[in-house]
C-alpha cells in the first residue's frame, strides 16, 4: 500500500486530489481483488484480475444506498464479501470485491450465476473468474477496508467497528414495526420470570419456520435468558454463549430447509466475527443479527426464491396475515387483480392453488404452536381461522396423518417423520 502513503505525503496538511485510476490499479494489483470506483452512478475506474460481465457487484448494489457510514462491508446470499467506501471529499464510491475466505465451489458458483441471470457459457467464465480470486481471511479483508478508508477519509475505524456497524444497520433495517402490528399469540403471557428453555424453544421454532414477524418481536422484547457459566472471563462467557447459540440456530435452519453446507458456512462466518469483537453489547447485537439472518434465509426458501417478485409478494402477504380470514377474492383485491388471473399466475409458478398454500402454511403454524406453546387445541383452531375445532382436527389429520393431540403428546416422533 506504499502508493497510498505517497499520495498523502505529497502535500501533508493540504488536500491532495487522488488519482483514482492509479488507486484502483494499485489496490487491485496488490490485493488481487476486483476494485471499482463510481461517481454519480457511473464507473470511472476499474481493475479486475479477470474481467467478467455482468458486474458481480450487482449482487449488492441495491443495498449500498441503504447503509449508513463511510466504510462498511456487505455480504451476498452466497457469502461473498464486498467492501464499500464513500469519499467525503469528492463524492465517489469505491467497491472492493468480491472476496471470500475460500473459493466458491461449483454449487455456490451455480447459485451466484443464477442470481446474476447468466447463461451456461457465462457460468464457465464465472468459474474461471473465481479460480483467479484471492481468498482472504475475514479479518484481513476488513483490515484492508479500514486501511483504505483511513487514507481516503482520514477516519480511523477498527475491524470491530465494521462488524458492529454491519449488524446494527441490519437490525435498524428490520426492527421498524409498531406494537399494534404484533400478533397476540407470539408469546405465552408473562407469568413471572421467563423460563430460558421455553424462550429458547420459541426462538428456534421461529427460525425453523422462517417466521420473520415473530423473530422481530422476539428481538424487540429482548427476552432475558440465563446461560450456565462456561468461561471465567465475562467477555469469553458472552462469546462462548454466542457460539453455542450459533450452533443450535444453524441446526434449526437446516430443519427449516436450509442446506447443511450453507448453514454451517454461515455459522462459521458469524463465529469468526464474534471472535473479533471486544464488547459484550456488540456481541449482543451480533446475536440478534444472526437470529434475523437465519430466519430470513429460511423464509426465502419457504417463499421460493425462484418465483417472480409478484408471487413472492403474494406469499409474503399470506404469511403475514395467516391468522386472519384469507380468501382468494380478498388477496386479489389487495393486489388490484382479477381473482382468476391471480389464481392462474400463482398456480403456474408454484404448482399449487392459493387455497392449498394457505392450508399448508396454517398446518405448519399449528404444528409450531402445538409443540412450543400452552395454547389449547381449540385456541389454536380459532387463531388460525378454522371454522371449528373438529374441522381443524380433520384437516390436520389429513395433512399430517396425526391428530393435533397426538402431535402434542409425541412431537419429536412426528417431526422425524
Distance CA 346, CA 352 (A): 7
Q: Look at the block and give the residue holding cell 466475527.
A: 273
CA gap 362, 341 in Å, rounded: 24
Residue 52 is classified by DSSP as -
Average pLDDT over residues 46-60: 92
How many CB atoms sit inside 10 A of residue 90's CB?
A: 11
CB 332 within 8 A of CB 338: yes
* Rounded CA separation 27/34 (Å): 9
* pLDDT the model gives residue 306: 64
What the block records as the C-alpha cell of 34 is 476486483
> What are the boundaries of each domain within the chain?
2-157, 169-303, 309-416
Looking at residue 232, its pLDDT comes to 61
Q: What is the pLDDT of residue 373?
A: 78
Is 50 exceeded by the pLDDT of residue 417?
no
Please say whether the beta carbons of 404 and 393 come within 8 A.
yes
Q: Which of 336, 278, 292, 13 is nearest to 159 (CA)?
A: 278
Mean pLDDT across the stretch 76-93? 90
Nearest to 355 by CA among 393, 314, 389, 383: 314
- CATH architecture group of domain 2-157: 2-Layer Sandwich (3.30)
Diameter of the chain measured on Cα atoms: 82
The most confident of the ranges 177-191, 208-222, 237-251, 403-417 is: 237-251
Question: Going by CATH, does the domain composed of 309-416 fall within 1.10.10.60?
Answer: yes
Q: Check pLDDT > 50 for residue 186.
A: no
Mean per-residue pLDDT over the chain, rounded: 82
pTM of the model: 0.68
Measure the N-to-C terminal CA separation of the chain; round to a whole number of Å: 57
Q: Give the least confident one: 20-34, 48-62, 208-222, 277-291.
A: 208-222
Amino acid at each position: 500500500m506504499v502508493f497510498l502513503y505517497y499520495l498523502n505525503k505529497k502535500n501533508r496538511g493540504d488536500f491532495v486530489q487522488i488519482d483514482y485510476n492509479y488507486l484502483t490499479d494499485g489496490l487491485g494489483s496488490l490485493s488481487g481483488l476486483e476494485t471499482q470506483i463510481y461517481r454519480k452512478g457511473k464507473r470511472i475506474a476499474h481493475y479486475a484480475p479477470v474481467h467478467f460481465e455482468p458486474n458481480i457487484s450487482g449482487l449488492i448494489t441495491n443495498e449500498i444506498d441503504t447503509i449508513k457510514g463511510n466504510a462498511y462491508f456487505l455480504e451476498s446470499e452466497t457469502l461473498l464479501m464486498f467492501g464499500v467506501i464513500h469519499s467525503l471529499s469528492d463524492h465517489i464510491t469505491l467497491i472492493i470485491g468480491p472476496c471470500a475466505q475460500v473459493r466458491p465451489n461449483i454449487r455456490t458458483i451455480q447459485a451466484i450465476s443464477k442470481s446474476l441471470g447468466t447463461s451456461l457459457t457465462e457460468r464457465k467464465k464465472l468459474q474461471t473468474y473465481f479460480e483467479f480470486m484471492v481468498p482472504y481471511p475475514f479479518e484481513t479483508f476488513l483490515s484492508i477496508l479500514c486501511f483504505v478508508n483511513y487514507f481516503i477519509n482520514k477516519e480511523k475505524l477498527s475491524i470491530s467497528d465494521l462488524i458492529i456497524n454491519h449488524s446494527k444497520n441490519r437490525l435498524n433495517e428490520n426492527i421498524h414495526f409498531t406494537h399494534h402490528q404484533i400478533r397476540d399469540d407470539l408469546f405465552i403471557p408473562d407469568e413471572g420470570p421467563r423460563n430460558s428453555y421455553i424462550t429458547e424453544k420459541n426462538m428456534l421454532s421461529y427460525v425453523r419456520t422462517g417466521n420473520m414477524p415473530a423473530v422481530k418481536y422476539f428481538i424487540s422484547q429482548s427476552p432475558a435468558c440465563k446461560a450456565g457459566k462456561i468461561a471465567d472471563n465475562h467477555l469469553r462467557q458472552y462469546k462462548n454463549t454466542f457460539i453455542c447459540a450459533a450452533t443450535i440456530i444453524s441446526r434449526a435452519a437446516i430443519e427449516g430447509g436450509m442446506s447443511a453446507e450453507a448453514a454451517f458456512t454461515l455459522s462459521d462466518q458469524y463465529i469468526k466475527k464474534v471472535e473479533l469483537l471486544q464488547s459484550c453489547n456488540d456481541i449482543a447485537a451480533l446475536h440478534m443479527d444472526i437470529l434475523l439472518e437465519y430466519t430470513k434465509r429460511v423464509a426465502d426458501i419457504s417463499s421460493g426464491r425462484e418465483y417472480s417478485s409478484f408471487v413472492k409478494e403474494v406469499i409474503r402477504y399470506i404469511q403475514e396475515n395467516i391468522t386472519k380470514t384469507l380468501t382468494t377474492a380478498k388477496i386479489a383485491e389487495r393486489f388490484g387483480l382479477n381473482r382468476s388471473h391471480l389464481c392462474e399466475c400463482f398456480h403456474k409458478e408454484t404448482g399449487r392453488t392459493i387455497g392449498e398454500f394457505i392450508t399448508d402454511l396454517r398446518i405448519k403454524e399449528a404444528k409450531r404452536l402445538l409443540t412450543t406453546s400452552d395454547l389449547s387445541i381449540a385456541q389454536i383452531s380459532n387463531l388460525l381461522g378454522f371454522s371449528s375445532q373438529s374441522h381443524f382436527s380433520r384437516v390436520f389429520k389429513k395433512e399430517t396423518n396425526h391428530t393435533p393431540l397426538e402431535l402434542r403428546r409425541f412431537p419429536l416422533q412426528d417431526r422425524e417423520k
